[in-house]
């Protein structure tokens, strides 16, 4: 598939105004053709104005029309799945077969959101009919629906170049809500981003929608992202990445004359607790599975299980030996970018400076950007005294926390910051301890897993991918799953309207048969 390297702003292919870049193949540390354009404030303004012009028409499309548009995007993603995965593999060093699965997941998400739109429950329709004879004061007719916030800016992530990128869940859920979208593509995979963007743009054109429904921009530094957050016509922002980057955008958005929400998914160590009976029964199996999941994507996954907490006792040595073997056997594999690789090495140094002891390392790095896996260990007392030990290290490293008893395990749980997920491995005889641990975890995470690991995660109605700070900036919302659409919606009430002026879904005839609450019933 031929790549132009241009910015895609509405229907226009816009050349560079602020320099260019080439993609990097992290497996070889070599640059890849072609040149990709950087834009700036002018291109952001062009894209956002087109998005604002398109918003009124797009946000008022019927549920049927919008669902069909989302399905066209899914079909287009399917049509380019093989070249998309091949290009993404070149730009990330991740296995091509894995990326084919990621492309299929992206298409599936658009189809799932098409069903969400068709069913219409996300509108949360409510009708309180007029009561003209009510005393002491009559009640006027009130009707409520959720509507889209407006044009939104989406920052693509580095670690999942398709399902968290241009055609990821943020884009799918925002378009499903009726928002128009400007994506800031991540520079770690510019070719894969262009292929996805063209698939979406083609669906916009084939659906007869205004060109400003979707645009993709790219920049060489912070300026283009800051311009997106600052633009007065942008009404919400999503970001997946580091705590430092996410909070910089969040604070900037709050300093605007009109503050806007920034929905961030940032940092998490996804702690795993092995309770005593489970340790005795299957400690080695759990330890091996923990490391196996930790190594996925070379440890570059937001749901990577990074910290394992266990009481020293029966089964502990077998568990630890299984972890050591799995790490020792792990080959070094290329990490996504030079910056992520350097940050990983720095993170390992910080853990050891804070008192963590190196237990074992995997096979030595061969290429410049290879990430060598590592297992470190610390006792519970030291963990409780050094906050740095609870911070995320983005890469193929895990920390084993050896605690003395149940009380220290609970203390370690209380010391954790907000998390995307937490896991407990337990047997029936562990239920008493689990009941004590559970409320501690409920206050600190968005998802609790029993007898499994946090990764992988289903994309479903009951999925939550968010949690208390610093896992996310707003724990009321999720960035994965069908309810992620709620980030881009706000309630609007229509009072005393004649039926002909109401949105179709609120009219007495209810032509789409959408579920509605009437007088609370």
Q: For 243-281, how does the pLDDT look when each residue is reduced to its tens digit (9 = 90+)? A: 999 999 999 999 999 999 999 999 999 999 999 999 999
258 and 280 housed in the same domain: no
The pair of structure tokens assigned to 92 is 């990330």
181 vs 484: CA distance, rounded Å: 15
518 vs 111: CA distance, rounded Å: 30
Task: Report the CATH number that the domain containing residue 199 is assigned in CATH.
Answer: 3.40.605.10
Q: Which residue has the tokens 């958005």?
A: 253
- The answer to whether 155 and 249 are in contact (CB under 8 A) is yes
In a domain, 60, yes or no: yes
In a domain, 515, yes or no: no
Strand-pair category, 214-217 with 181-184: parallel
49 and 13 housed in the same domain: yes
Secondary structure class of 184 (helix, strand, coil): strand
Range of the domain at 446: 272-450
The pair of structure tokens assigned to 258 is 């009109």
The answer to whether 115 is a known catalytic residue is: no
**pLDDT value of position 196:** 98
284 and 396 housed in the same domain: yes
361 and 483 housed in the same domain: no
Secondary structure class of 240 (helix, strand, coil): strand
225 and 284 housed in the same domain: no
- The answer to whether 344 and 436 are in contact (CB under 8 A) is no
C-alpha dihedral sign at 479, 484, 488, 489? negative
Task: Report the CATH number that the domain containing residue 302 is assigned in CATH.
Answer: 3.40.309.10
Q: Which residues contact 254 (CB under 8 A, 6 or more apart)?
A: none
For residue range 352-386, list pLDDT tens digits in order. Answer: 999 999 999 999 999 999 999 999 999 999 999 99
Which residue intervals of 398-463 are DSSP H helices?
Answer: 406-415, 431-442
The answer to whether 458 is a known catalytic residue is: no
The pair of structure tokens assigned to 76 is 């287009």
349 and 493 housed in the same domain: no
Q: Which of 194, 265, 361, 377 is catalytic?
A: 265
235 and 292 housed in the same domain: no
- Name which of 109, 113, 107, 68 is nearest 84 in CA terms: 107
422 and 352 housed in the same domain: yes
Q: Which of 409, 435, 450 is the last residue of a domain?
A: 450
- The answer to whether 473 and 262 are in contact (CB under 8 A) is yes
321 and 396 housed in the same domain: yes
- In order of 15, 290, 373, 432, the CA distances from 328 in angstroms are 48, 14, 8, 36
In a domain, 217, yes or no: yes
- The answer to whether 167 and 196 are in contact (CB under 8 A) is yes
Secondary structure class of 384 (helix, strand, coil): helix
Q: Which residues contact 190 (CB under 8 A, 6 or more apart)?
A: 5, 21, 23, 36, 91, 218
Q: Which of 43, 71, 302, 361 is catalytic?
A: 302
Strand order across the beta sheet in which 307-311 lies: 357-361, 374-379, 397-403, 307-311, 272-274, 422-425, 448-450
**pLDDT value of position 252:** 97
Rg of the chain over Cα atoms, rounded to whole angstroms, equals 25
In a domain, 80, yes or no: yes
How many structural domains comprise the chain? Answer: 2
Phi-psi domain of 178 (left: phi exceeds 0; alpha: psi -120 through 50; beta: other): left
Q: Which residues contact 342 (CB under 8 A, 6 or more apart)?
A: none
In a domain, 223, yes or no: yes
In a domain, 492, yes or no: yes
Q: Which residue has the tokens 């054109």?
A: 205
276 and 218 housed in the same domain: no
163 vs 293: CA distance, rounded Å: 19
The CA-based angle 507-511-515, given to 5 degrees, is 80
154 and 172 housed in the same domain: yes
**pLDDT value of position 455:** 84
Q: Which of 450, 466, 489 is the last residue of a domain?
A: 450
Ranges of residues in the chain with a pLDDT under 50 are none
Is 436 exposed, middle or buried (CB count within 10 Å of its CB: 0-12, 13-18, 19+)?
A: middle
The pair of structure tokens assigned to 366 is 């061969």
For residue range 163-199, list pLDDT tens digits in order. Answer: 999 999 999 999 999 999 999 999 999 999 999 999 9
**pLDDT value of position 457:** 85
Q: How far apart are the first and last CA of the chain?
A: 54
3 vs 198: CA distance, rounded Å: 10
Q: Which residue has the tokens 């239920």?
A: 431
In a domain, 466, yes or no: no
356 vs 351: CA distance, rounded Å: 6
Q: State pTM to two decimals.
A: 0.96
Q: State the DSSP H helix or E strand holding residue 8, giving kind and residue range, or none if neither.
A: strand 7-9
- The answer to whether 215 and 10 are in contact (CB under 8 A) is yes
367 and 227 housed in the same domain: no
Q: Which residue has the tokens 């220290």?
A: 408
In a domain, 148, yes or no: yes
DSSP states of 328-393: HTPPPEE-S-HHHHHHHHHHHHHHHHTTPEEEEE-SPP-STTEEPPEEEEEEHHHHHH-GGGGS--
**pLDDT value of position 1:** 74
């Amino acid at each position: 598939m031929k790549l132009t390297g241009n910015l895609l702003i509405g229907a226009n292919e816009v050349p560079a105004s602020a320099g260019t870049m080439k993609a990097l193949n992290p497996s070889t540390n070599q640059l890849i053709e072609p040149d990709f354009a950087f834009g700036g404030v002018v291109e952001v303004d062009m894209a956002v104005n087109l998005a604002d012009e398109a918003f009124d028409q797009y946000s008022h499309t019927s549920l049927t029309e919008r669902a069909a548009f989302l399905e066209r995007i899914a079909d287009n993603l399917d049509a380019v799945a093989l070249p998309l995965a091949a290009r993404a593999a070149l730009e990330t060093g991740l296995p091509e077969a894995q990326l084919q699965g990621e492309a299929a997941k992206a298409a599936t998400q658009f189809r799932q959101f098409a069903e969400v739109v068709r069913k219409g429950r996300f509108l949360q329709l409510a009708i309180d009919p007029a009561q003209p004879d009510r005393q002491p004061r009559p009640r006027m007719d009130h009707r409520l629906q959720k509507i889209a916030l407006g044009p939104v800016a989406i920052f693509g992530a580095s670690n999942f170049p398709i399902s968290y990128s241009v055609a990821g869940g943020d884009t799918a859920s925002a378009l499903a809500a009726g928002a128009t979208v400007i994506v800031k593509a991540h520079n770690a995979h510019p070719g894969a981003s262009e292929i996805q963007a063209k698939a979406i743009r083609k669906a916009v054109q084939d659906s007869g929608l205004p060109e400003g429904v979707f645009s993709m921009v790219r920049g060489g530094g912070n300026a283009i992202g800051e311009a997106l957050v600052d633009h007065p016509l942008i009404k919400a922002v999503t970001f997946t990445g580091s705590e430092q980057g996410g909070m910089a955008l969040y604070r900037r958005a709050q300093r605007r004359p009109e503050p806007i929400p920034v929905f961030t998914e940032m940092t998490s160590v996804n702690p795993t607790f092995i309770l005593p009976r489970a340790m005795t029964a299957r400690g080695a199996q759990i330890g091996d599975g923990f490391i196996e999941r930790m190594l996925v994507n070379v440890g570059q996954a937001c749901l990577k299980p990074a910290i394992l907490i266990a009481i020293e006792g029966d089964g502990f040595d077998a568990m630890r030996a299984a972890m050591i073997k799995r790490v020792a056997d792990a080959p070094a594999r290329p990490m996504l970018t030079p910056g992520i690789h350097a940050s990983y090495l720095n993170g390992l140094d910080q853990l050891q400076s804070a008192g963590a002891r190196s237990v074992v390392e995997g096979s030595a790095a061969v290429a410049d950007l290879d990430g060598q896996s590592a297992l470190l260990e610390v006792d519970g007392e030291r963990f409780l005294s050094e906050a740095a030990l609870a911070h995320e290290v983005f890469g193929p490293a895990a920390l084993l926390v050896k605690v003395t008893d149940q009380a220290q395990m609970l203390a370690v749980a209380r010391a954790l910051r907000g998390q995307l997920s937490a896991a407990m491995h337990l047997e029936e005889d562990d239920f008493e301890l689990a009941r004590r641990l559970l409320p501690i975890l409920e206050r600190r995470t968005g998802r609790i897993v029993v007898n499994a690991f946090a990764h992988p995660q289903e994309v479903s109605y009951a999925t939550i991918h968010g949690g208390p700070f610093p896992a996310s900036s707003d724990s009321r919302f999720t960035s994965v799953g069908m309810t992620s659409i709620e980030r881009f919606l706000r309630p609007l009430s229509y009072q005393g309207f004649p039926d002909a002026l109401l949105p179709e879904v609120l009219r007495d005839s209810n032509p789409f048969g959408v579920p509605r609450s009437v007088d609370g019933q």
